[in-house]
Chain A
């Protein structure tokens, strides 16, 4: 795969969306015979054949609207001049798109538009890329007979409240494309046309500035605008891009495809790729706009070393840095043993980079102490799905949701964490699909414009398994299971065991009501809805996995899907919504200590031999430490060296004070990152990272889709991340000699059956590939387990509900649960360095009015939040979105210290932390916590030590 620079030009727009039909229709357009699927519009049929009918209000991202009157055509034997965007093709139809009469009408229309439009084309930001300008040219506009002196909108004020785009109503032609994009593409309904006739204007919410409105800043309106009414500020400042490169977003697990639109090496704007298979031309505020971190002044671009974390950093060359690191690691192994060091791969880095880090650990470090941040998010998903179905991955493509009749959303908040998929899900809901939401908190999907859950099962945190068992009980006890599916596709003995277990009275909705807090009848009704639907699909997130029974719940979900026959076709399935961009990929690449790439256990001698032969090294047959085990072993003095690529464990992992103690115990920590993150403050070696714009590789999203990441600018620090890992390996004495990430992918393909057909060349051709991609599925696999499960027969696993040890007491009477917000991403290292701070500049504590009143807490008060692990202080937001006795916060800002409060409780099978349930007390306070005061002091000290390095480097240069 090479970075293909394409000369900039606006993406092709065929006028109206694609339709599919079994029947084709042939018509004649301007004398040419054209054959298209039945239901296609005349406008699109013409465009598909290269005939461009003038248009302004039409876009292939939006349903036909028929307002601008430019796309009028003549149709034989039909009266008048129908709009081609709203006229569907018919067999034998004869269409004329250009005639003197049509030219007159179109010119008249354009005269009217231009009579109320500024004539500032030469200084307009969209000069050279304006559809209105193009149409003026296309219709041959030479004069405006109406003059420009009449009433107009030219003095209307601009709205510059949004940090990323400007709304200039003086340029608006009221085509409604922005309003329709907000409704149809994004599904937020924040925009409307206010007023009638000449007074018509686009307004946000209740005629508010964009920033104060319900607008989520996804940018769909900006992309849809055919004039300069809604324009990216970057474009206003920099002018039109001159080339673009297709690449993949580095934020969430949706994995949107983008056109990185460039001027030289400078990124002008990110425009979602209409051919993107995960996002179909849509994006969110992060992907489209929040890329400024990549060139932020805080980027560290020179390697640094120091003997102790109390020493100033010293800037050094790459050779010196990796040499220093390798020496330290070798000394540690000599002194404490081969197993005293390890590495953490990143879900933010590419497949090739994570593969290389686990290879470094297994081959160069000589142990299996490698883990990845999926440990603290979706490791139970991998365990649960592998156990029941045979593969550690979701079963569907995102597009499958468009065939779902019932959607059950469990412990996921897609409008905040997977916004582009949330828009697709909302689209399906507007088409009539039913929705069940299982969540302790009333997320937006419970009720928002044109979306309302049919059942909101607002359970207590920590009772997922009780609820899924109760649903299964309702299904079985009412005879709603899909017996034929179970008989044909699943292991019989295991099913009988599970059936007997589930049908026990203790699993009935009535028995479980006291645990979950959800009325039994409501559970039964939701279970009936799910079970009888032709297609019912389950989507879940970290609200499922981050529990002491995370793995049990994933298996419970799989059991329910199997029992109701909802697997193996479109519209159904078990769909984990992965948090970070490459969580799926980092797991696929063998980042877990017990598994080689492709989820094959390290104890399997035949698999080990495959890798040993390729890597020319002997591998250990026993699993290594998982991340929490590494920290525990560090605290007890058995683990002394750690290489962390692209992760910030000091902020993201639970029980911060324990993590800090562990990191402080290390004799050598190497951090590779864009910034001096919280973890790097405990490091001895800093290797500057490269952003997704500075390297080649691939990401794999939540639907197993491998998508290309392409370098659009040179790495600021000189090396791509994989090159830094390779340099470290060579310094450790284990040779690596890749010249391009494509060679790493070729090696992955040689060693991993599910990737055997993947190559950069094929990715260039297909755009993206869903694994498994091999001889049986040369172009990938959108739907898994079609004729049989990967493991053969599906395995029902018995899922007893075991209440978490993290229970409320008189000392800690509330339950804290944590989550994410739209504008920020994970630890916020990227998004806190963008204008997204305008939406979320601090983490807050959501508390129910009843609990607040009992404690004398008012909105905006500082609240001390204390658990058995620690204490932090957050500002209160009083809301009924959380239920009584439950509080909620996010963890995007390090000073907030959300994870100072979360505990070391974890999933029984995988050690995934129980972020979602912490017993706490909340009370009004007047000062920050001891930890926060310590944090501020340590932060200042570490910034000083960094500045000393930078100052001394400047002196040397001067």
Chain B
């Protein structure tokens, strides 16, 4: 899949959770959303992209994908 589109989608999710009471909650909400609604190949692809380093992921999305990479899933 087009990884740029996945990055755009992840950023969009993160931006919409940006007003959650704390950064941790926003990260958890983003991670949880990707766990619940993204198919495994999409998550795997964005994790690979994240691990490659250069990424346009925003801060919250980046932390969420990092959590996914650590095996975290439904955190809410």
Residues of A within 8 A of B (CB): 339, 368-369, 497, 501, 548-549, 551-552, 593-594, 601, 603, 622-626, 629, 632-633, 635-636, 638, 798, 800, 802, 805, 904, 906, 908-911
Contact = CB atoms under 8 A, between A and B. Distances in A.
B41 interface: yes
Contacts of B18: 800
B56 to A, nearest CB: 13
Interface in B16-45: 16, 18-21, 33, 35-42
B20 A798 contact: yes
A579 to B, nearest CB: 22
Given A904-B5, A911-B9, A622 B37 contact: no
B2 A632 contact: yes
Nearest to B13: A908
Contact-residue bracket for chain B: 20 to 34
Nearest to B12: A908
23 contacts: A339-B41, A369-B39, A497-B21, A548-B12, A594-B36, A594-B37, A622-B40, A624-B39, A625-B39, A625-B41, A629-B1, A629-B39, A633-B1, A635-B2, A636-B2, A638-B41, A800-B18, A800-B19, A802-B12, A908-B12, A908-B15, A909-B33, A910-B37
A802 B73 CA distance: 26
B51 interface: no
A511 B36 CA distance: 35
**Which residue of A368, A624, A908 has the most chain B CB atoms within 10 A of its CB atom?**
A908
Contacts of B39: 339, 368-369, 593, 622-626, 629
A10 to B, nearest CB: 52
Contacts of B19: 501, 798, 800
A603 B20 contact: no
Interface in B26-76: 33, 35-42, 73-74
A800 B42 CA distance: 26
Contacts of B41: 339, 625, 633, 638
Nearest to A624: B39
A800 B26 CA distance: 13
A339 B41 CA distance: 9
A809 B12 CA distance: 21
A543 to B, nearest CB: 19
B5 A623 contact: no
Contacts of B33: 909
Given A603-B74, A622-B39, A623-B38, A800 B1 contact: no
A626 B1 CA distance: 13
B61 to A, nearest CB: 11
Contacts of A622: 39-40
Nearest to A496: B21
Query: Lowest 8 CB-CB distances: which A-B pairs, in order?
Result: A908-B12, A632-B1, A798-B19, A800-B19, A908-B16, A622-B40, A625-B39, A636-B1
Nearest to A638: B41
**Which residue of B1, B8, B9, B20 has the most chain A CB atoms within 10 A of its CB atom?**
B1
B64 to A, nearest CB: 13
A593 B37 CA distance: 8
A909 B5 contact: no
Contacts of A638: 1, 41
B59 to A, nearest CB: 15
Given A601-B36, A800-B18, A908-B15, A632 B9 contact: no
Nearest to A548: B12
Nearest to A604: B74
Nearest to B36: A594
A895 to B, nearest CB: 29
A501 B37 CA distance: 27
A592 to B, nearest CB: 9
A545 B41 CA distance: 27
A6 B17 CA distance: 57
B16 A552 contact: yes
Contacts of A625: 39, 41-42
**Which residue of B8, B12, B21, B40 has the most chain A CB atoms within 10 A of its CB atom?**
B12
B49 to A, nearest CB: 13
A623 B36 CA distance: 7
B72 to A, nearest CB: 13
A603 B36 contact: yes
A497 B1 CA distance: 37
A638 B41 CA distance: 9
A800 B37 contact: no
B42 to A, nearest CB: 6
Nearest to A367: B39
Given A339-B39, A632-B1, A910-B37, 16 more contacts: A339-B41, A369-B39, A551-B16, A593-B39, A603-B74, A622-B39, A623-B39, A624-B39, A626-B37, A626-B39, A629-B39, A636-B1, A636-B2, A638-B1, A638-B41, A800-B19
A157 to B, nearest CB: 62
**Which residue of B16, B21, B36, B42 has the most chain A CB atoms within 10 A of its CB atom?**
B16
B76 to A, nearest CB: 11
B60 to A, nearest CB: 12
A320 to B, nearest CB: 33
